[in-house]
Amino acid sequence: MSIENEELRRRLNILQDKLESGMLKISPHVYEKLESSFAAMRYDSDGKIDLDSVDSSIRAMANGITMFHDREENKKAIPLAEIQRAYFGFINANFAPFYEMMQKANKTPNDIAQFFSQKATTRNELVQSIPPFLEHIKELWDSCGEIAWTHLEDMDCLKLSHSGDLFPSYSHNVASKCGIYSDTIVLPDPFVRTLGLYEMWNDEQKVYYFLKHALSVLIYKDLALTELTTPIVVVLPEPQYFEEHERDFIQQLSEKDGLKLAGNTFDRKFESLDDAKDFFISLDSKQKVINEVRDESRILADLDIGNNIGEQLDELCSNPLSIMHGLTPGQMILTNFLGRMGQANDALLKSRRVRGVPLIDAPTSWRYFNWKLQLDGEQLEQSSNEQLHVTHALTSLDGTELSWLGNIPPESLIEIRKQGALEEIRSIMSENIGSLVEASPNKFGETSYQVYKNFQNAFEAHNTKVNELRNKKWKFGGVDIGSMVCAGAIELTAAATGSPLFGVVGWATGQLLDTPKLREIPQKYRDLAEEDKKLSNSPVGILVQCKQ
């Protein structure tokens, strides 16, 4: 029997099993159309289906059912948690000493990577270990990369797909910013994203990025490996790694959008990429660019530099690509447009694949992504657009009174989920966002301010409740119990939960207190303790504790 026939028989058997077990139900009007096809099926003397008796309708149904069957079987064979343990376990086994050193010295991945990449002895040792390390990473993703993405695609939760940079900045934990909103944050494996660059780098650059990426990844290890219904963080290879057509498709989109962006910037219409190349190669000086440009704000290398077009051009032209290949300022502008639109399209495609939204925490990358949305002239679905607005708001809190929300410790993110507080926190920050997005889909500043106000209102309401507890004029044993609530002086929660005595912690009331027995505590004090406990363990209370 040919391989094709064996596979067809396997698919027909799966279809038959699903029908007989009742796992597959066919609606009456559909069955009427297929009834004659089923009736025509015959079996040989061995009880096997005669393949010649199976028409195209049954074959198509068997193909569809088998696809879903195989998908589920693959997920059962290799759970997502097992894939993540293998990935992080391998990296931790190789880099744990460096990571422990970084933590003890209170340094960043960048600090450690710079130090050892400049140290000849260590650099020479690490360079030798890079090829086998990368080969192991490739083997891991070759064996289970697609299955990992299948797990993620089928997860029914709010997912954010990190995009814009090779990996989140080492200066902050992106999950600390957005983990109080999303269920799962998808991070790209930085080793896979830079596979083609190692051949171009010198030894110092190789070791620098090798160490920096490994230590940056390990920052997320606890969040990825904590056993929860849905993981807080997962690290996966880009879909381009195992789908060849993906890269070509993104390139086509980037050329289309890059030409649009170039046309809007210079108020010209480019019929083709060659047409654009002819124009931009002629801009062989910065002054010629300035003379031709119509929208200077689109000449953007780095938002942190400011609005001066000359400084933005200097930054663009300082790119190693420009120096290596002698590109004109105009060519660098076109190259930048194409690259940035490639990033933006990649961000959209990845997020749609996992049924989530992009997470872009780099301001310059976000600006280009926003331009991409404007170029499309069409909006995301309302729910996805709301999620995108709230996510952007969380990445924009730096420099405000709520910047501390970007420093939620991993253990607190884990606790928020274990306490079941995530949904309420998400509801708080999303209040009134839907109407703003519907009225002005592209005005992210308005929704960012609304999220800021939502948090402030929630914290003010929480403080009001705390003050109400503190202002209760209840005394016991000569102590103003209300004033001690939330101050850590008297452990009322211990009384409420059955501990035999109060816990007395460094309080300054100017008097001695005979510790009362639990049975002497009136019910109203127990009620007060329980109210304090609920307030402290509320979703907003947990966030306030993170700030403290």
> 468-505: per-residue pLDDT in tens?
766 665 544 455 545 544 444 334 444 444 443 344 34
Report the pLDDT value the prediction gives residue 323, as an integer from 0 to 100: 63
| CA nearest to 351, candidates 186, 191, 231 | 186
Query: pLDDT digit string (tens) for 122-135?
Result: 999 999 999 999 99
Instruction: With a cut of 80, say whether residue 108 has pLDDT above it.
Output: yes
Tell me the pLDDT band of 83, cut-offs 50, 70 and 90.
very high
Distance CA 279, CA 331 (A): 9
Instruction: With a cut of 80, say whether residue 374 has pLDDT above it.
Output: yes
For 293-317, what is the mean pLDDT? Answer: 94
Measured from the Cβ of residue 447, the count of other Cβ atoms closer than 10 Å reads 25
Distance CA 306, CA 99 (A): 35
Report the pLDDT value the prediction gives residue 378, as an integer from 0 to 100: 59
The residue ranges of DSSP E strands in 307-391, in sequence order, are: 357-359
Instruction: With a cut of 80, say whether residue 168 has pLDDT above it.
Output: yes
Report the pLDDT value the prediction gives residue 526, as an integer from 0 to 100: 61
Report the pLDDT value the prediction gives residue 506, as an integer from 0 to 100: 40
Bridge partners of 517, per DSSP, are 501
Query: Would you call 481 exposed, middle or buried from its count of C-beta atoms within 10 A (0-12, 13-18, 19+)?
Result: buried
Q: Please, what is the average pLDDT of the chain?
A: 84
For 42-53, what is the mean pLDDT? Answer: 80
Distance CA 213, CA 529 (A): 47
| CA nearest to 258, candidates 162, 362, 368 | 368
Tell me the pLDDT band of 527, cut-offs 50, 70 and 90.
low
Query: pLDDT digit string (tens) for 169-225?
Result: 877 789 988 999 999 999 999 999 898 889 889 999 999 999 999 999 999 999 999
Report the pLDDT value the prediction gives residue 58, as an integer from 0 to 100: 83
Bridge partners of 490, per DSSP, are 504
Note whether 538 and 421 are within 8 A (CB).
yes
Report the pLDDT value the prediction gives residue 106, as an integer from 0 to 100: 94
Query: pLDDT digit string (tens) for 339-357?
Result: 999 999 999 999 998 999 9
Distance CA 200, CA 320 (A): 12
Instruction: With a cut of 60, say whether residue 287 has pLDDT above it.
Output: yes
Distance CA 155, CA 170 (A): 28
| CA nearest to 330, candidates 376, 293, 381 | 293
First vs last Cα of the chain: how many Å apart?
71
Q: Lowest-pLDDT range, 21-30, 103-112, 142-151?
A: 21-30
Distance CA 282, CA 457 (A): 55
Instruction: With a cut of 80, say whether residue 26 has pLDDT above it.
Output: no
Report the pLDDT value the prediction gives residue 205, as an integer from 0 to 100: 94
Q: Lowest-pLDDT range, 107-116, 374-383, 406-415, 439-448?
A: 374-383
Q: What is the pTM of this model?
A: 0.81
| CA nearest to 218, candidates 194, 184, 191 | 191
Integer-rounded Cα Rg, in Å, for the chain is: 30
- Extract the tokens encoding 68: 């879903």
- C-beta pairs of 11-19 under 8 Å, 24+ apart in sequence: 11/59, 11/62, 11/63, 11/65, 11/66, 12/49, 12/51, 12/54, 12/58, 12/62, 13/49, 14/62, 14/65, 14/66, 14/69, 15/58, 15/61, 15/62, 15/65, 15/66, 16/49, 18/65, 18/69
Looking at per-residue pLDDT, the higher value among 10 and 174 belongs to 174
β-sheet with 184-188: strand ranges across: 233-236, 184-188, 159-162, 357-359
Looking at per-residue pLDDT, the higher value among 147 and 529 belongs to 147
Distance CA 211, CA 114 (A): 9
Single-letter residue type at 75: K
Note whether 166 and 190 are within 8 A (CB).
yes
Instruction: With a cut of 90, say whether residue 265 has pLDDT above it.
Output: yes
